[in-house]
């Protein structure tokens, strides 16, 4: 048996970066006290979700990996608590800016970096103004407690990303997120759609999925988003095993036996029966076969 406990957290964020980091640390400590070994914090938790408006002033939030406050802070926390912490941050690299994530192992070592692949662009979610498309490709990390794959927010809508990480050996998928209401249409509530999409990743790949969202109302001039929380942990059949509320700061935890899940994946035959030779269409934009 190779059992691992995972956690998802959710919180609101203020304009005070130090306060946000301390609040995130409190949640990590709560999760560790519950036995969690891999703990997911939400997307870009150092600041409010600044992508509601296109403002050049917000470029100043970006830092190089080595100088990022949250990454350096949580390296010490990970080592102290012996937990794995994927940390979302706004990365500056020369003239490029990325929506990035550093994976910190239980030793405090940064195992590497993932840059968000899919960048959304719409009212209230103006991310193409702030981020270059990620250039790392999908990545899987061999941590102390298991092999994990991580996508960032908009990545979670793409089954191709989840399948790639599963093919690379990911035993659990993690998604830090910032999603809520639509500033230009308050009748839209994507919470159920958001969850069902990721539950499908769990079921189709027979791997647990951990999603961490933010909560609270954030306003920028005439734009307002109510982040709907609802962070959750899914089992490998696409079943929700833990779920947070829409508006409370919370920590949820679940345990999985990774060896048993591996046996289930083999027995089910999903990866054995794949036909990658027939999937060329998925690598096109328009659905036509690629020219050889």
Residue 292 burial (CB count, 10 A): 4
The answer to whether residue 116 is catalytic is yes
The active-site residue out of 5, 91, 127, 153 is: 153
For residue 33, give Cα distances in angstroms to 7, 28, 284: 11, 9, 47
Beta bridge partners of 114: 101
Q: Considering 13, 51, 91, 116, which one is annotated as catalytic?
A: 116
Distances (CA, A) of 71 to 21, 45, 247, 270: 10, 11, 26, 37
* Whether residue 51 lies in the annotated active site: no
Q: Active-site residue 43, yes or no? A: yes
Residues shown for the chain: 292
- Going from the C-alpha of 96 to that of each of 52, 63, 138, 139, the distances in angstroms are 20, 11, 19, 20
Rounded to a whole number of angstroms, the distance between the first and last alpha carbons of the chain is: 46
| 3-state SS assignment for residue 8 | strand
According to DSSP, the β-strands at 209-212 and 215-220 are: unpaired
Residue 220: Cβ-neighbour burial (10 angstroms; 0-12, 13-18, 19+) = middle
* Pairwise CA distance, residues 176 & 88, whole Å: 7
User: What residues contact residue 128 under an 8 Å CB cut-off, 6+ apart?
Assistant: 119, 120, 121
Catalytic residue among 5, 13, 43, 92: 43
Residue the block writes with tokens 């909560």: 215
- In DSSP notation, 206-269 reads T--EEEE--EEEEEETTEEEEEE---EEE-TTS-EEEE--SSS-EEEEEEEEHHHHHHHHHHHT
Q: Which two tokens stand for residue 264?
A: 């289930």
Task: Tell me which residues are annotated as active site.
Answer: 43, 116, 153
């Amino acid at each position: 048996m190779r059992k691992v406990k995972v956690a998802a957290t959710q919180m609101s964020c203020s304009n005070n970066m130090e306060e946000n980091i301390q609040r995130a640390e409190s949640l990590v400590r709560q999760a560790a006290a519950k036995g969690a070994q891999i703990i997911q914090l939400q997307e870009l938790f150092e600041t409010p979700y600044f992508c509601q408006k296109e403002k050049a002033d917000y470029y100043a939030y970006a830092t190089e990996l080595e100088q990022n406050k949250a990454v350096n802070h949580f390296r010490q926390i990970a080592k102290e608590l012996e937990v794995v912490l994927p940390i979302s941050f706004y990365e500056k690299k020369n003239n490029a800016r990325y929506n990035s994530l550093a994976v910190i192992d239980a030793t405090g070592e940064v195992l590497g970096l993932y840059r968000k692949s899919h960048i959304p662009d719409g009212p209230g979610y103006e991310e193409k103004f702030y981020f270059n498309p990620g250039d790392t490709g999908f990545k899987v990390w061999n941590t102390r407690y298991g092999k994990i794959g991580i996508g960032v927010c908009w990545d979670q809508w793409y089954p191709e990303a989840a399948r790639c990480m599963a093919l690379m050996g990911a035993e659990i998928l993690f998604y830090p997120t910032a999603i809520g209401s639509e500033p230009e249409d308050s009748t839209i509530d994507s919470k159920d759609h958001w969850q069902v999409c990721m539950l499908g990743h769990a079921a189709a790949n027979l791997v647990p999925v951990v999603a961490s969202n933010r909560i609270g109302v954030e306003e920028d001039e005439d734009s307002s988003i109510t982040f709907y929380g609802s962070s959750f942990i899914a089992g490998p059949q696409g079943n929700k095993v833990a779920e947070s509320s829409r508006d409370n700061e919370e920590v949820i935890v679940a345990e999985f036996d990774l060896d048993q899940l591996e046996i289930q994946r083999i027995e089910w035959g999903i990866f054995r029966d794949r036909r990658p030779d027939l999937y060329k269409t998925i690598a096109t934009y328009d659905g036509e076969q690629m020219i050889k």
